[in-house]
Structure 1
């Protein structure tokens, strides 16, 4: 299994805890590896990261009730409503309040990504909710994008309703005024097992779009609800322009074959997720943090932000050995830290910036032997094995690098593991 991480600047929301969410099949690009890389990694180009928002207490669902308020005969469909002028509606998942607005505000990206002061005052503007439903399938390839000059967060979680067998996607659309609000739309493209959902502004011309957004703001928050008792599904891809991506899939059966998460400005917070294959996380400005279970490859890259991941390579499926882990994590600006809840045997490489000492901390619970071929002020290269014999292969299975921050690998003792152990 391989993990890749790159730092991105953006504070994660207070609600985040370390133990609390593949390369895109739609648009892949070749991005050169970071300082420690020896060959280019085929991953989608880096994306902006979301900033974490304040924790809000869980409120009532947007739709009324049984089976999350959607009858099984309706698929897909939309529900719309206008927000009351005084009493604010209850939100499921992320609440697009002025508080959360503040937490995704990045002044440095204001001009480029259409941010303006109107984005901090959306409570009095028009609002509607829409719901899409999908029949669940183990071969489902799902893509959710909130781009096109629109800000907002995306939450991926399991449905609290054990009887719901479909995937529900709840959208909360808000605009600073009716002119921009009426141009916002959720576009779906469902072709067999490939389902794409994009939030778009109606003008196709970029100049017209920028003119529309001048002095105005468009925000869409999405909550993707998977069936709680569902087996694994194929692929999940989420992209955002200006907001956080939060993943919390805790069920034993909640496993995806591959996962791709990309944010331009915002944090990626993985509270719980299990991935059998490849995981790619790309952030331009923001942090990547959380707990991931996987026997596949992990690739995490950030431009301006920290990376702090805990990886459990024994997720209850066949194929795990101490040598299967494969992780690549790289940050331009920010520290990079990897905690392993299972023992690891193989080569590793850590590169730290500005003479910040890299660190490798083996577990005292195991009698593994660690050898270093390079141990300098800013670089650490070596291997670890059970009997003191160098593992096969020349390239490291775990590579961590940061241009300006420290790097660290820690193999956790069983007694120190978090919920993922």
Structure 2
């Protein structure tokens, strides 16, 4: 597209959508932000782990996953769950997903992911400064907790890839970890500490404040469900949507599809066959705890994150496959509580809240960012698996630059929607 001001519709008001909207406004464009919920940031952008996890570039599909996964599914103490009735629908996606469980693909994926998450704290500060939402951003360390050094060395492959990509961390034995943060039990005997990370102390409110800034800067926000795209001579000219008052047409010069795990069906309207699944994630919030960890941590044995937030401690993680419609399961919450008791046995709290949401999971673990081939003015921005909050601001900036006719400072070829074209 040219660099002349346009009217851009952004479909989805999660972190990717609002980030795109803000950067588009800074490029001089008029923005229409469309969200099916009553408010912005009510989906995964509300329920995520809250960590700006720049080092989380290694996909789940590391070598050896294929042999480990069946045992994980049948263990009550492993963070992988499946609603078995969904398995026939899942299998085509799962075969393609597991095919990337080799060293070459993992290195390729990690390098691509780093391009959108590798400087997340500064990306969030650049996005939020001056919006009123910056108060929710807290620079912090990010720790990976292990039983002992041997347990840590079991993840040597992933840490080796991080080292190849330029990440650095400190190795902390039990005594050093206890001096850094005495909260953890003796079960935690080793930690890898990454500096220059960050956390969001209220992710849902953070996104709402960013969306409010879009409106304050002249953007329009509409509660609607987009059902189709209007095209003329190979160019997008508008959207069909169901609003609170009925069917409507939204005129625009371009549109960005950023509806996370719900993007597959609308992508098909654009001629995309997107191998996208929902990676169902869970969080448990413990309000008014008697202690708070010093920094967000990944508990490696359970693959879940504990993040200090405003008035509460949030435990988030778990992978469950079961589609977009099934209700939450109780086993993931029970697992989070059991594992919490191991690492923070003295923790008490006054109230707890449960949540389940949907992460957008493409088979190749790389987000789709860019223009749809063959349709001028149609753009995609989704597919970040469990690191959407981390990569949202950079994704939005890349999209705004592409729409403005500028060249982003990262190689965008890996994210191209052309890999999903029919």
Provide TM-score, normalisation by structure 1. Answer: 0.27
Report the structure, 1 or 2, having the larger strand content: 1
Q: Which has the higher helix share?
A: 2
Q: TM-score, normalised by structure 2?
A: 0.27
